[in-house]
Structure 1
Amino acid sequence: MSELGRTLRRWRDRADPADSGLPTGRARRAAGLRREELAGLAGISVDYVVRLEQGRAASPSGQVLAALARALRLSEDERRHLFLLGGRALPDGGRLPSRLSPGVRRLLEQLAGTPVSVYDAAWTLLEWNPLFAALMGDPSPLRGRERNVLWQHFTGRPTRVRHTAEQAARFEVAAVADLRAATAHYPSDPGLHGLVAELSQRSPVFRQLWEEGTVGRHTMDTKTVDHPEVGAIVLDCDVLVAPDSDLRVVLYTAAPGTDAAEKLALLGVVGIQPLWA
């Protein structure tokens, strides 16, 4: 059995049939997908699944690998590993992932009392919940570069977040380091390389940090948000990285009983304001 075959078998055994709408119950001898079920979900023959798992089909096409990845509900990292084992280049050409996983989407839906936003690996805003829009201003009118945090910061776009000099320097180092890592992970993404080129042209600070190869990382910090209705709010800001998609999930929280917590609660009543209000 080849490594590709062993890996496919492991992923098939761990798959939950219910996730694909298949029946479950005592009649099943194994918890995972049967070969015929995987074949049906992927649109290939049962014989071909057998030959792949036994190592007798060593060069599956990119279309077959993509179908198997969908059928097995693989994460982005697992999908990348599958194509590597199959000896094929990823069909996305190494582009930034921007699809929210079900778990990340549930965070947005269930954390109604916490401002939550989701960004791709280059810090372009993808999704947000209503309380984030109430806190920061409605970002829905923004398009393209305007939704990128680095573009906003290094080109001087107005924002409700107030940084001290120390916070700004720390943010800049971490953000540029994240962008550098993104260019290494997704070398064929044209928008990513265009962003670096334009920022280098527009911002001397960015250009210097980029050329120096500065290394840093995002950690928990405090953010002061100047809101037009409730005034200044000091919040804890945590950045989580979704391991299955390389997305950045940012949460703004306040300790219970604090002035900031009361103001967050008020924002749920005040509602969403225009971004630059």
Structure 2
Amino acid sequence: MERQEFGAAVRQLREATDPATVGLPVGGRRVRGLRREELGELAGMSADYVRRLEQGRSHPSAGVVNAIARALRVGRADYERLCALAGYAAADGQVPTDLGPGAERLLERFSDTPMFVSDAAMNLLAVNSAFMALEHWDLTGDRWEWNIAWRTFCAPFTAFKQSAADATDHEAVLVASLRSALLRYPRDASLAALVDELRSRSRVFDTLWRAPRPVEAYESSATFVRSDGDSVTLVGNLLAIPGDDLSALMLTAAPGSADAARLAEVVSAADGPAVIKVGQPGPG
């Protein structure tokens, strides 16, 4: 059964791969995605072996799994799924931190909506200029100054206000996300250190870690106070980017509301690049 499932997964990924993304010509094709011969050439194996794999008649080695994943340029989640179906652990067990073209396009296309992209450990990887225009993300000099969980539990933002109910929902999501990440990436030393530090520094986090609250909604409301004294209340919705194991948070206001009008003013005054990669000692 596992061989059949692995073979089906390889075939599905092969047929879903755009030839152009792996450097192959697009024209004159009668089938979707790549041919078996093309996958075999890219992965360093025969087309007949690819056929046997897809039909569940051969069990791949760990090296074969890695070669297929590289040839198809799959995201982290698909790579881990192939490893699991073949009976192997993922090669490194580290939280992926590549922004990826899909996440970058998301930030670019929603330029009028404050948005950021984070990895599975809740580290911000990139933001758009609309997000920076909210002016609430100050830098502390801490190791985890760009980590959402750390900033929530150990170094709260002074210009970020939430009701008790919204804060409860927000905290539950963060703890659940980190618990899930630690299960998926048990060998990531930085992630383990972050969790240990959070449990040592924050009694609230440690309590939630030992007895997690159920996640009722992957959204919460917050008020952002800008340097000019004005404020805008927005709702954050967390969206998964599964292929790269990333998440995106979009901040929006109710259509036609005073907050929507204020947000439009704030965003219209935003400048700088459309996508700002972060995680270093300052945006850049």
SS at match of 2:112: coil
Aligned in 2, Cα 1:88/1:272: closer, same or farther, shift over 3 Å? same
SS at match of 1:132: helix
Aligned in 2, Cα 1:56/1:104: closer, same or farther, shift over 3 Å? same
- CA shift digits 1:220-254 (9 cap, x unpaired): 32211001136110112211122223322111112
Q: Which residue of 1 aligns with 2:35?
A: 34
**Any unmatched runs of 5+ in structure 1?**
none
Q: Distance in 2 between matches of 1:181 and 1:142?
A: 27
Q: Which residue of 2 aligns with 1:90?
A: 90
SS at match of 1:7: helix
Which residue identity is paired with 1:52?
L
* Corresponding residue to 1:23 among 25, 28, 50: 25
Q: Distance in 2 between matches of 1:21 and 1:78?
A: 20
Alignment check: 8 A CA contact 1:115 1:251 kept: yes
Q: Distance in 2 between matches of 1:143 and 1:45?
A: 51
Q: Which residue of 1 aligns with 2:279?
A: none
Q: Distance in 2 between matches of 1:138 and 1:162?
A: 13
Displacement after TM superposition at 1:218 (Å): 4.2
Alignment check: 8 A CA contact 1:218 1:239 kept: no
Which range moved further: 220-229 or 80-89? 80-89
1:251 aligns with 2:250: yes
Q: Which residue of 2 aligns with 1:240?
A: 239
Q: Which residue of 2 aligns with 1:169?
A: 168
Q: Which residue of 1 aligns with 2:211?
A: 212
Displacement after TM superposition at 1:55 (Å): 4.7
Which residue identity is paired with 2:248?
V
Q: CA RMSD in A?
A: 2.8
Q: Which residue of 2 aligns with 1:60?
A: 61
Alignment check: 8 A CA contact 1:177 1:217 kept: no
Q: Which residue of 2 aligns with 1:222?
A: 221
Q: Which residue of 2 aligns with 1:5?
A: 7
Aligned in 2, Cα 1:82/1:186: closer, same or farther, shift over 3 Å? same
SS at match of 2:80: helix
Alignment check: 8 A CA contact 2:253 2:260 kept: yes
Displacement after TM superposition at 1:47 (Å): 4.8
Alignment check: 8 A CA contact 1:139 1:147 kept: no
Q: Distance in 2 between matches of 1:268 and 1:184?
A: 38
Q: Distance in 2 between matches of 1:272 and 1:143?
A: 27
Aligned in 2, Cα 1:125/1:139: closer, same or farther, shift over 3 Å? farther
Aligned in 2, Cα 1:272/1:156: closer, same or farther, shift over 3 Å? farther
- Percent of aligned pairs sharing the same letter: 40
Q: Distance in 2 between matches of 1:61 and 1:217?
A: 39
Aligned in 2, Cα 1:40/1:141: closer, same or farther, shift over 3 Å? farther
SS at match of 1:238: strand
Aligned in 2, Cα 1:224/1:203: closer, same or farther, shift over 3 Å? same
**Any unmatched runs of 5+ in structure 2?**
273-281
Q: TM-score, normalised by structure 1?
A: 0.84
Which range moved further: 190-199 or 238-247? 238-247
Q: Distance in 2 between matches of 1:59 and 1:146?
A: 42
Which residue identity is paired with 2:12?
R
Aligned in 2, Cα 1:141/1:46: closer, same or farther, shift over 3 Å? farther
Alignment check: 8 A CA contact 2:135 2:227 kept: no
Which range moved further: 52-61 or 216-225? 52-61
Q: Distance in 2 between matches of 1:36 and 1:83?
A: 22
Q: Which residue of 1 aligns with 2:259?
A: 260
Q: TM-score, normalised by structure 2?
A: 0.82
Displacement after TM superposition at 1:140 (Å): 8.1
Aligned in 2, Cα 1:72/1:229: closer, same or farther, shift over 3 Å? same
Which range moved further: 9-18 or 76-85? 9-18
SS at match of 1:147: coil
Alignment check: 8 A CA contact 1:13 1:32 kept: yes
Alignment check: 8 A CA contact 2:198 2:206 kept: yes
